[in-house]
Structure 1
Amino acid sequence: MKIEALKELVDRIENLLSEPPKELRRLFHGRGQTVDGLEQITVDWLQGQLVVAVFKQQDDHFIQALESELLALTTRDVWSKAEGYAILIQHRYQELAPTQVLWGEENVYPVGVENGLKYQLELKKNQNMGLFLDMRYGRKWVQENSQGKSVLNLFAYTCGFSVAAIEGGATQVVNLDMAKASLSRGRDNHRLNQHDLSKVKFLGHDLFKSWGKLKKLGPYDLIIIDPPSFQKNSFVMTQDYQKILRRLPSLLSASGEVLACVNSPAISTQFLIDGMAAEAPELQFIGRLENPPEFEDIDPEKGLKVMRFTY
Structure 2
Amino acid sequence: MTPAAIRTLHQHLLAALNPPPAEACRLFHGRGKCWLGLEQVSVDWLEGIVLVMLFRPPQDAVLAALQDMLGSLQQPVLLQLRYLPDCPALWLTGDAVEQWQIHENGLAYRLDLGTRQNSGLFLDMRHGRQWLRQRAAGKSVLNLFAYTCAFSVAAIAGGARQVVNLDMSRAALTRGRENHRLNRHDLSHVRFLGHDLFKSWGKLARLGPYDLIIIDPPSFQHGSFMLSRDYRKIFQRLPVLLSAQGQVLACCNDPDTSPDFLLAEAALAAPGLQFVQRLENPPEFAESDPDAGLKVLLFTYQQTPPP
Counterpart check, 1:262 vs 2:282: no
Give the AA of the match of 1:170.
Answer: A
Counterpart check, 1:104 vs 2:94: yes
Structure 2 unmatched runs, 5+: 302-307
What is the distance in 1 between the residues matched to 2:93 and 2:184? Answer: 34
Counterpart check, 1:207 vs 2:173: no
The match for 2:188 is 198
The match for 1:37 is 37
Encode CA deviations 1:172-228: one digit per residue, 9 max, x unaligned: 000000000000000000000000000000000000000000000000000000000
The match for 1:16 is 16
From 168, 178, 191, give the equivalent of 2:158: 168
Matches within 5 A, 1:125-144: 125-144=115-134
Counterpart check, 1:286 vs 2:276: yes
What is the distance in 1 between the residues matched to 2:73 and 2:251? Answer: 37
The match for 1:188 is 178
Say which SS state the counterpart of residue 70 (structure 1) adopts.
helix
What is the distance in 2 between the residues matched to 1:92 and 1:108? Answer: 17
What is the distance in 2 between the residues matched to 1:271 and 1:67? Answer: 40
Encode CA deviations 1:58-104: one digit per residue, 9 max, x unaligned: 11110111011112233xxxxxxxxx3x1111000011000001011
From 238, 241, 247, give the equivalent of 2:231: 241
TM-superposed CA distance for 1:52, in Å, is 0.7
Say which SS state the counterpart of residue 259 (structure 1) adopts.
strand
TM-superposed CA distance for 1:108, in Å, is 1.9
What is the distance in 2 between the residues matched to 1:46 and 1:258? Answer: 30
From 132, 145, 149, give the equivalent of 1:159: 149
What is the distance in 2 between the residues matched to 1:143 and 1:109? Answer: 25
Counterpart check, 1:301 vs 2:252: no
What is the distance in 2 between the residues matched to 1:3 and 1:157? Answer: 38
What is the distance in 2 between the residues matched to 1:142 and 1:38? Answer: 33
Identity of paired residues, percent? 57
The match for 2:7 is 7
Counterpart check, 1:218 vs 2:247: no
Give the AA of the match of 2:161.
Answer: T
What is the distance in 1 between the residues matched to 2:59 and 2:116? Answer: 24
The match for 1:52 is 52
What is the distance in 1 between the residues matched to 2:2 and 2:93? Answer: 23
Q: TM-score, normalised by structure 2?
A: 0.97
Say which SS state the counterpart of residue 99 (structure 2) adopts.
coil
What is the distance in 1 between the residues matched to 2:174 and 2:145? Answer: 14
**Count of residue correspondences:** 301
What is the distance in 1 between the residues matched to 2:73 and 2:110? Answer: 27
Kept after mapping to 2: 8 A contact 1:49/1:106 = no
Structure 1 unmatched runs, 5+: 75-83
Counterpart check, 1:116 vs 2:96: no
What is the distance in 2 between the residues matched to 1:166 and 1:58? Answer: 43
What is the distance in 2 between the residues matched to 1:49 and 1:115? Answer: 18
What is the distance in 2 between the residues matched to 1:189 and 1:130? Answer: 10
Which sits farther off after the overlay, 93-102 or 63-72? 63-72
TM-superposed CA distance for 1:19, in Å, is 2.2
TM-superposed CA distance for 1:3, in Å, is 2.7
Counterpart check, 1:89 vs 2:97: no
What is the distance in 2 between the residues matched to 1:117 and 1:165? Answer: 11
The match for 1:78 is none
What is the distance in 1 between the residues matched to 2:10 and 2:190? Answer: 43
From 259, 271, 277, give the equivalent of 2:267: 277
TM-superposed CA distance for 1:255, in Å, is 1.4
What is the distance in 1 between the residues matched to 2:96 and 2:138? Answer: 40
TM-superposed CA distance for 1:107, in Å, is 2.7
Give the AA of the match of 1:147.
Answer: A
What is the distance in 1 between the residues matched to 2:212 and 2:202? Answer: 18
What is the distance in 2 between the residues matched to 1:133 and 1:15? Answer: 20
Say which SS state the counterpart of residue 13 (structure 2) adopts.
helix
TM-superposed CA distance for 1:252, in Å, is 0.3
User: RMSD between aligned alpha carbons?
Assistant: 0.7
